[in-house]
Amino acid sequence: MAERIGFIGLGIMGRGMAANLLRAGHDVVVWNRTATRMAPLVEVGATAAASPAEVARRCPIVLICVSDTPDVEDVVEGPDGILRGLSAGSLVVDHSTISPSATIRLAEAVGAKGASWIDAPVSGGSEGAERGTLSIMAGGSDDDLERARPYLEAFGSTITHVGGVGDGQRVKIVNQVLVVGTQLAVSEALLFADAAGLDLDQTLAAVTGGAAGSWMLANRGPQMAVRDWRPGFTIDLQQKDLRLALAAADEVGVPMPGTSLIYQLYRSLQAAGLGEEGNHALVKALERMAGHEMGHA
Amino acid sequence: MAERIGFIGLGIMGRGMAANLLRAGHDVVVWNRTATRMAPLVEVGATAAASPAEVARRCPIVLICVSDTPDVEDVVEGPDGILRGLSAGSLVVDHSTISPSATIRLAEAVGAKGASWIDAPVSGGSEGAERGTLSIMAGGSDDDLERARPYLEAFGSTITHVGGVGDGQRVKIVNQVLVVGTQLAVSEALLFADAAGLDLDQTLAAVTGGAAGSWMLANRGPQMAVRDWRPGFTIDLQQKDLRLALAAADEVGVPMPGTSLIYQLYRSLQAAGLGEEGNHALVKALERMAGHEMGHA
C-alpha cells in the first residue's frame, strides 16, 4: 500500500524529483525554506506544510534534498526540525550530498526516535531530476531501501545499494573525486592540444575510444572545444562536494594530492566570479596561467 | 604493387609488429641493435640487415620502433643511420613515441634527401602489437599515409590521420596526459573508498557507468582491487612519455600541474624499485603516504 511521502527542499534538484513523485500518482507533502517555491508543486497536487516537523508528523516517509551538511542538520535538528514530528517506524531518506560522519550522527538521532535513515545522494543533475533518470547511491538497511524503492523509482533510473548508513555519501565522494580528476586530465590534454596547433575535433576522435577515454572526455570535451560553459553541474556545487571529499579523506587518513590541487584551481575561478559556470570550465584556471584560450567560440 | 619493408627495432613492441608484417605476406628486412633479437624473425622469413643504412638501401619504406628520442636520432643520423642509405622517394614511418620538435627536425633531414616522414606512434601495448590491434596516430601527408596504410594495417586496427608531421606525436602526448590523469583520479578515489570501509567491487559497480566513468576505471579499477600490478604499460615507459609531455607543454607555454604532480609520484615509485610494474600501480605512491594498502591480495 502506498505511503504518503514528505519532500523537503525544492531547489534545482528537489523540485524535479517532487514533481516526478506527483506525476507517478503519489500523495506528497512538501516544505521549502523559501515558501514561494512550494506554489508550483501545490498547483500540480502537492500539499504544503508549515515546517519540517509537520511534514514528519504527516508522512511516514520523508525525503530530503537540500544543499549542504548544515542545511540537513537544520531540517532534522532545528527548532522545527523533523525530529520534533517523527514517529517510531518512520523512514528518512536524505538525497543531499553531505558529510558521511554527520550522516552517521543524524541517523543515530533519528534512530533514537525509533525511525530509520537512508543516505541516498544522487547524480545526474537537474536534467536527470526532471527526466526521472537520476543515479542513486544508497546506504542503509535492505528492508529500509526496499520500502523506499517504489518512491525513489519515480525519479531514479539506477538505484545501487552500496552498503550501510553513510556508505551512500562515501560512494558519492568517490564519484566526485573521479569526476574532477578526469576533468583535470581532459583540461590539461585539450589545452595542450590546442596550444600545440592540433585540431580539437580530430584529436578527440583519435583518443576518445581507447585507454584515454572517459565520460568527461566524450561529453564535455566537445563542449569545451566550442567554449560552451553551460553547467551540467556548477563549480560552486562542485567545490562544496570537494570540501566534503577532502575532509572525509582527512578523517580516514588518505592523501588526495590531485583533488586538493583541483580544489585550489576551482577556488581561483570562484574568485574570478565564475562559480556558476559548469565544472568543465576548470580548464579556464589553466588558461589564465597560460595566457592562452583554447577552442573556437 | 607491394614494396619491400624495412623494420628497425625489435623490442617488446617492434617484434610483434614485424611478425605481423611477415604473417601478412610482406617482404621484410629487419635490423636491431642487439643482433640476437633478429633470429626469431629470420626464422619466420625476415632478412637480417647489418645496419639501419643497409635497411634504407634495400627498402623503399622503413618503419622504426625504438624507445626514445636519442634512439631514433641514432637510427636516423648515426654513423650507420638510415640517412646514409636513403633514396629520393623513400618513406620513413616512425612508430616510436618521441619529441614532436625532434620529429620535425628529423623529418627535415629526411626531406633533404628527397624522402618523406610519417610519425605514427601507437597505443595498445605489446598485446596489441602481437594481435595486430594497435591504434596508430599518424602525422604526415595524405599521400604518404595512403602509401604506408596497407602495411600499417598488418598490425594496426585503427589508423587515424591527425595532421601534419609532428602531430602524431602531439596527439600521443594528449593521449598519455589523459591516461595518467584518469589514473590519478582512479587511485585517489579507490584508496579513499577502501580506507573508508567501502566494498571496492560494489563501489566500482555504482560509479563506473556514469559521469565518473573511464576506460581506466573499468579496466584497471578491478585489477587494482585485487592488487594485480602486471603491466599493460610500465611505469618506466610511462615516465619517458610524461617527460616528453612536460617538455612539449613547456615549449608551447601551457601549464600541466596535474601531469607534473603525477610525474613526481611515479618518480617516487621508480626510486622504490617499482618501475617495471604497471602504470596503475600509481596508487602505491599514495598508499606509501597513507601507510594504508587498499584491496585484497
Q: Residue by residue, what is the 3-state secondary structure of B68-94?
A: CHHHHHHHHHCCCCHHHCCCCCCEEEE
Domain end call among A142, A165, A188: A165
- The answer to whether A194 and A226 have CB atoms below 8 angstroms apart is no
Q: Mind telling me the catalytic residues of A?
A: 172
- Helices then strands, counting H and E runs in chain B, come out as 13, 9
Chain A, nearest residue to B212 by Cα: A179
Query: Torsions phi, psi of A146, nearest 5?
Result: -65, -35
Residues of B in contact with A185 (CB under 8 A): 177-178, 180-182, 184-185, 258
Give me the pLDDT at residue A284, please: 98
Q: Mind telling me the catalytic residues of B?
A: 172
Does residue B294 surpass a pLDDT of 60? yes
Half-sphere exposure of A226 (CA within 13 A, CB side): 7
| Best mutation target, A135, A170, A207, to test chain B (most B CBs within 10 A) | A207
Does residue B218 surpass a pLDDT of 90? yes
Instruction: Check whether residue B154 and residue B176 sit in a common domain.
Output: no
Distance, CA of B142 to chain centre: 22
Query: Averaged over B241-248, what is the pLDDT?
Result: 98
Instruction: Check whether residue A23 and residue A144 sit in a common domain.
Output: yes
Give me the pLDDT at residue B290, please: 95
The CA distance from B249 to A103, in Å, is 44
Amino acid letter for position A132 = G
Per the CB < 8 Å rule, is B188 touching A181? yes
Mean pLDDT of chain B: 96
What is the domain range of residue B243? 170-290
Residues of A in contact with B252 (CB under 8 A): 192, 195-196
Per the CB < 8 Å rule, is B202 touching A163? yes
Would residue B186 count as lying in a domain? yes
Nearest Cβ partner for A192 among B215, B216, B256: B256
Instruction: Check whether residue B98 and residue B156 sit in a common domain.
Output: yes
**pLDDT, tens only, A13-52:** 999 999 999 999 999 999 999 999 999 999 999 999 999 9
Would residue B129 count as lying in a domain? yes
Does residue B296 surpass a pLDDT of 90? no
Query: Averaged over B67-76, what is the pLDDT?
Result: 97
Query: Averaged over B293-297, what is the pLDDT?
Result: 77
Instruction: Check whether residue B12 and residue B158 sit in a common domain.
Output: yes
Instruction: Check whether residue A146 and residue A178 sit in a common domain.
Output: no
Instruction: Check whether residue B60 and residue B101 sit in a common domain.
Output: yes
Would you place residue B295 in the very low, low, confident or very high pLDDT band (cuts 50, 70, 90)?
confident
Domain end call among B108, B142, B165: B165
Nearest Cβ partner for A212 among B179, B192, B291: B179
Beta bridge partners of A31: A8
Instruction: Check whether residue A147 and residue A185 sit in a common domain.
Output: no
Per the CB < 8 Å rule, is A184 touching B258? yes
Give me the pLDDT at residue A296, please: 65
Per the CB < 8 Å rule, is B180 touching A178? no
How close A196 gets to chain B, by Cα (Å)? 6
Instruction: Check whether residue B12 and residue B151 sit in a common domain.
Output: yes
Give me the pLDDT at residue A127, please: 85
Nearest Cβ partner for B290 among A176, A255, A262: A255
- The answer to whether A219 and A182 have CB atoms below 8 angstroms apart is no
Chain B, nearest residue to A157 by Cα: B210
Nearest Cβ partner for A171 among B160, B179, B207: B207
CA distance to A104, A145, B182, B211, B233, per residue, from A139 (Å): 11, 8, 26, 20, 36
How close B87 gets to chain A, by Cα (Å)? 31
Number of domains making up chain A: 2
Nearest Cβ partner for A177 among B170, B185, B252: B185
How close B61 gets to chain A, by Cα (Å)? 25
Q: Which residues of chain A have pLDDT under 50?
A: none
Would residue B26 count as lying in a domain? yes
Give the burial string for B204-232 (b: 16+ CB within 10 Å, else e). Answer: bebbbebbbbbbbbeebbebbbeeebebb
Per the CB < 8 Å rule, is B196 touching A160? no
CB pairs under 8 A between A and B: 260
Per the CB < 8 Å rule, is A207 touching B174? yes
| Best mutation target, B136, B145, B187, B188, to test chain A (most A CBs within 10 A) | B188
The two beta strands, B156-163 and B134-139, are parallel
Query: Percentage of chain B with pLDDT > 70?
Result: 99
Higher pLDDT: B297 or A55? It is A55
Per the CB < 8 Å rule, is A216 touching B214? yes
Instruction: Check whether residue B125 and residue B177 sit in a common domain.
Output: no
Give me the pLDDT at residue B232, please: 85
Query: Averaged over B25-48, what is the pLDDT?
Result: 97
Distance, CA of A194 to chain centre: 32
Would residue B297 count as lying in a domain? no
Query: Torsions phi, psi of B177, nearest 5?
Result: -65, -40
- The answer to whether A178 and A276 have CB atoms below 8 angstroms apart is no
Amino acid letter for position A281 = A
How close A170 gets to chain B, by Cα (Å)? 7
Domain end call among B120, B144, B165: B165
Residues of B in contact with A212 (CB under 8 A): 123, 174-176, 178-179, 182, 215
Would residue A295 count as lying in a domain? no
How close A53 gets to chain B, by Cα (Å)? 33
The CA distance from B28 to B4, in Å, is 6
Residues of B in contact with A174 (CB under 8 A): 189-190, 192-193, 198, 203, 207, 212
Domain of B53: which CATH number? Answer: 3.40.50.720
Would residue A297 count as lying in a domain? no
Instruction: Check whether residue B244 and residue B97 sit in a common domain.
Output: no
Would residue A296 count as lying in a domain? no
Residues of A in contact with B171 (CB under 8 A): 193, 198, 203, 206-207
Nearest Cβ partner for B177 among A192, A219, A256: A192
Residues of B in contact with A225 (CB under 8 A): none
Instruction: Check whether residue A191 and residue A212 sit in a common domain.
Output: yes
Would residue B295 count as lying in a domain? no
Instruction: Check whether residue B133 and residue B261 sit in a common domain.
Output: no
Does residue B186 surpass a pLDDT of 70? yes
Kindly give, in sequence order, each residue whose CB lies less than 8 Å from that of residue B258, ignoring residues fewer than 6 positions away.
A181, A184, A185, A188, A258, A261, A262, B181, B184
Does residue B297 surpass a pLDDT of 70? no
Query: Averaged over B201-217, what is the pLDDT?
Result: 94
How close B231 gets to chain A, by Cα (Å)? 14
Domain of A271: which CATH number? Answer: 1.10.1040.10
How close B151 gets to chain A, by Cα (Å)? 20
Nearest Cβ partner for A188 among B197, B207, B258: B258
Per the CB < 8 Å rule, is B202 touching A124? no
C-alpha cell at B262: 603525477
Would you place residue B127 in the very low, low, confident or very high pLDDT band (cuts 50, 70, 90)?
confident
Query: Torsions phi, psi of B151, nearest 5?
Result: -80, -45
Give me the pLDDT at residue A126, please: 85
Distance, CA of B158 to chain centre: 14
Query: Averaged over B41-54, what is the pLDDT?
Result: 98
The CA distance from A218 to A202, in Å, is 13
CA distance to B83, B181, B183, B228, per residue, from B287 (Å): 49, 17, 14, 15
